[in-house]
Amino acid sequence: MNNKEWLRQLSNLTGLPYYEEHRIFGDKNGALIGTRDGYIVALGLGKAEGGHAGVKMLLRYAKTQDPKLIKQTLDPAKGKFKQVTTEATTANLVRIYSLGKPDAASVAEPLPGLLAAMKTCASPIDGKCEECGRDEPQVVLLNDLPSRYCPSCQVQLTQKLDAAATEYENLETNLPLGLLYGAGAALLGSIAWGGVAYLLHRIFLWGAILIGLFVAKALVMGIGKVTWTARGMIGVLTAASVAFGDAIFYALTVMSDDHVPFMAALKAVLANFWKIETDSDSGVLSIVFGLIGAVWVMYSTRKPAFKARFVTLDTASTPLSGPGTK
Ligand SMILES: [Zn+2]
């Protein structure tokens, strides 16, 4: 059975309307989105963690202070759904499959039990705007999450996020402070790297990633905002930090082997640095690892997303008939 037929069948079994165009779980065949007993329910196919194929279910309720309680209450009712994760307003359930899609009936089966469990621990959204509590008959998608948001709260949220985005764009960047923090962190990283390598007689490549993280954190803290200049500086400083750490390590080794003062040893090492570094087993590799750390941080400090995208469910696709038909 193809996915669309399967979803249609599931729609008939659960009474939840099927929307081919709303890919809220990432699957191109769309999803079922509707309400049951005042709760918002969505079902569909999608990728589970680790890339497994899965059936996904979303249950949404009025904001709770105790999502853990909801998880505990839903767990015994989850049937073949594997994981239940709960947040303040949403429970996510995933059922992983490897060969064929599970039988639609077996997917629909735990739903009544889940709803019954839900009634004991979470209030329904019950046709009310989740922000202001006014009556709101329509379910809309807020960044792909089925929600109830009245028109005025939609406008407010959009404006709020637009303002946050503008504010972020207009943030002052303090390049000198960022450079100062970043360089300070890089120097500390070098000393730690060289010292640890000397004391333990080995180089920990993973340490280079830590230095990348450390440099990036410090630099971003100083600069106040992630820009491409900041990203570039994180990369350069991390590589320099690890390279200088290597130099400190070589210099400490020369110092104790040849009984010369540290600064003299460091001078000699720096004069021939590139040759020593490329001759060493892990020299260049350590710089590469430092860059991996830096790239990771550059990615994790990417610009936050400020956007509220509201999409109405297509009113033309009327709910299908309830259980028992077909
Ligand atoms: Zn509202």
Q: Find the 62 Cα to ligand 1 centroid distance in Å.
A: 13
Q: Find the 311 Cα to ligand 1 centroid distance in Å.
A: 16
Check pLDDT > 70 for residue 304: no
Report the alpha-carbon distance of residue 155 to residue 149 in Å, rounded.
10
Please give the residue that has the higher pLDDT: either 83 or 193: 193
Q: What are phi and psi of 227, to 5 degrees?
A: -120, 170
Q: Find the 310 Cα to ligand 1 centroid distance in Å.
A: 13
- Spell out which residues have Cβ within 5 A of ligand 1, the ion: 129, 131-132, 150, 153
* Beta-ladder partners of 284: none
Q: Find the 217 Cα to ligand 1 centroid distance in Å.
A: 38
pLDDT at 317: 47
Q: What is the pLDDT of residues 208-255, one digit of tens each?
A: 888 888 898 899 889 887 788 888 888 889 888 988 998 999 899 899
pLDDT at 179: 93
Q: What are phi and psi of 215, to 5 degrees?
A: -60, -45
Structure pTM?
0.66
- Give the relative orientation of helices 205-223 and 175-200 as an angle to the nearest 10 degrees: 160
Q: Find the 136 Cα to ligand 1 centroid distance in Å.
A: 8
Amino acid of residue 194: G
Q: Find the 149 Cα to ligand 1 centroid distance in Å.
A: 5
* CB-CB contact of 226 with 220 (8 Å): yes
- Per-residue pLDDT, averaged over 6-34, amounts to 95
Report the alpha-carbon distance of residue 27 to residue 134 in Å, rounded.
32
Q: Find the 134 Cα to ligand 1 centroid distance in Å.
A: 6
**For the chain, counts of helices (H) and of strands (E):** 11, 9
Q: Enter the tokens of residue 274.
A: 């590139």
Report the alpha-carbon distance of residue 20 to residue 44 in Å, rounded.
10
Check pLDDT > 90 for residue 291: no
Q: Find the 153 Cα to ligand 1 centroid distance in Å.
A: 4
Q: Find the 164 Cα to ligand 1 centroid distance in Å.
A: 20
* CB-CB contact of 17 with 11 (8 Å): yes
Q: Listing from the earlier edge strand, what are the strands of the sheet with 140-142?
A: 145-147, 140-142, 310-312
Q: Find the 89 Cα to ligand 1 centroid distance in Å.
A: 16
Give the residue among 19, 27, 20, 5 at the shortest CA–CA distance from 94. 27
User: Hey, which of 107-116, 215-224, 236-245, 298-307 has the most confident mean pLDDT?
Assistant: 107-116
